[in-house]
Amino acid sequence: MMDTVKSQDDNIWAEGMNIIGRLEQSGYRAYLVGGCVRDRMLGRSLHDIDIATSATPEEVMALFSRTLPTGLKHGTVTVMENGRSFEITTFRQETGYTDARRPDQISFVLDVREDLARRDFTFNAMAIGVDGEIVDPFGGQDALRAGVVDCVGDASERFGEDALRMLRAIRFAAEFEFVLLPDVWQSIVKHRSKLKQVALERVSAEWDKMMAGSGPEQACHYLFKSGLLVNVKEPLPDSFQQAAERYRFNELPWEWDVWGTAATDEGTMGNMLQLPLISDADLRWAALIAGIGMSEEDCTALCRTLRISGRRAARIAGVAGFNEKLGYYDDHSLRVGWIRTVLAYGRSIAEDWLTVNEVCDPDSSAKEKTLWLNELSVTSVQELAVKGDELCSYLGRSPGPWIAALLQQLLEEVALGGIPNDKGSLLWAAKESIGNQR
């Protein structure tokens, strides 16, 4: 598998080199730049190849047969080669960031070093030419060797220009297991209020990448500790903001112990230390939210504010709700409570809850609950041996809301072992129930 990934990386790198070679042969300067150079040096898998050149967008489009004018205003053209896309951008400078997000003015330049000077972090401000020449005017290689996140020039200026860079700094630090240099951290704290100028979609996308990455626990620590999460454009639910603020000041709410989330000596979240052990990003979200002790309603509101899709939100909030409802039962009623909670949320959510619980609270009775789940003969009304129309016919009643209520009642009786799941027994139990109601 690793050999296949390396071969793919070598191929896409070679194709990028071929493109800059064609630009050079046509009299322009061209380099592979940014993240692909950084990831190549780190030995990480390549996803995109970005190219910077002295050629204008019109000159690039004249040179390559298949192009897309994806960002002409910013000097960017997408070139399609062998089924892959390569973004080619003209060397440029940027000035003025009145909205703390986008430059007010862009001007094309002829020197790659001037282009690199506009970038965020030193390890993203490197370029490599077709002859293997590395252009590294700001010490990006030194930052990679030292394992630090360092800004190009003054960190306060970089974050003042583009507030989203604060989240990117945290994401890179967490993903690469790098250290945020003191001036970088201090500038994040100083400029955190500027995050209110960034669209929630952009904030959510960065945070989601962190949760899916290799260091979600460190990312969450930085996000909470910096105060960024209470400085977003649209307010997050009060329960989340209160938890974020309490974490920031080392005052964890008691509900976090539900996943074994007591603070460690290092000041990070106990359960967050376990997040990398959960491979599914949605379940990482669920562990974080349930660990905070948020209600299902607040969880749904948080997902809505963060523009998390409805399908994902239902799953994340389902685990939080499952955890919340299960907390109502004591040891004596736990098995019955577990069964009723499974019936309320479904087998899939129950399995998700178990996955999170086994990682975040390994001393719990997860194995016992897994056994209880496997012993259930039914977990949904669709699995019952009788259907709604059959109940109408047998009981001589017209269809109505009573059918759903009766089926749910029969489902619980079967799941609890009160009656077998066969048509005769179910019809008899239904008749008894209707008779008792009368």
What is 263-296 written as a DSSP string? PPTTSS-TGGGGGGG---HHHHHHHHHHHHT--H
Give residue 271's pLDDT: 56
Give per-residue pLDDT as tens, 379-412. 999 999 999 999 999 999 999 999 999 999 999 9
Give residue 360's pLDDT: 78
In the chain, what are the domains?
1-138 (3.30.460.10), 147-234 (1.10.110.30), 248-376 (no CATH), 383-437 (1.10.246.80)
DSSP strands (E only) in 181-287: none
What is 85-151 written as a DSSP string? EEEEEE-EEEE--TTSSS-SEEEE-S-HHHHHTTSSBGGGS-EE-TT--EE-TT-HHHHHHHTEE-B
Give residue 254's pLDDT: 38
Give per-residue pLDDT as tens, 26-45. 999 999 999 999 999 999 99
With b for 16 or more beta-carbon neighbours within 10 A and e for fewer, the 387-424 pattern comes to: eeeebeeebeeeeeebbeebbeebbbbbbeeeeebeee
Contacts by residues 8-12 (CB-CB < 8 Å, ≥ 24 positions apart):
8/46, 9/40, 9/45, 9/46, 12/46, 12/49, 12/84
Give residue 330's pLDDT: 87
389/300 Cα distance (integer angstroms): 34
270/347 Cα distance (integer angstroms): 28
Neighbours of 165 (CB within 10 A): 25
Which regions in the chain score pLDDT beneath 70?
1-6, 96-104, 251-273, 362-364, 436-438
- Cβ atoms of 253 and 243 within 8 Å: the answer is yes
| Mean of per-residue pLDDT scores for the chain | 89
Q: Which two tokens stand for residue 41?
A: 């040096």
What is the residue whose two structure tokens read 């019955």?
336
Give per-residue pLDDT as tens, 106-134. 888 989 999 999 999 999 999 999 999 99
Give residue 428's pLDDT: 94
Residues in Cβ contact with 266 at an 8 Å cutoff, skipping those fewer than 6 apart: none
Q: Both ends of the chain: CA-CA distance in Å?
A: 66
pTM of the model: 0.88
Give residue 62's pLDDT: 94
Give residue 3's pLDDT: 56
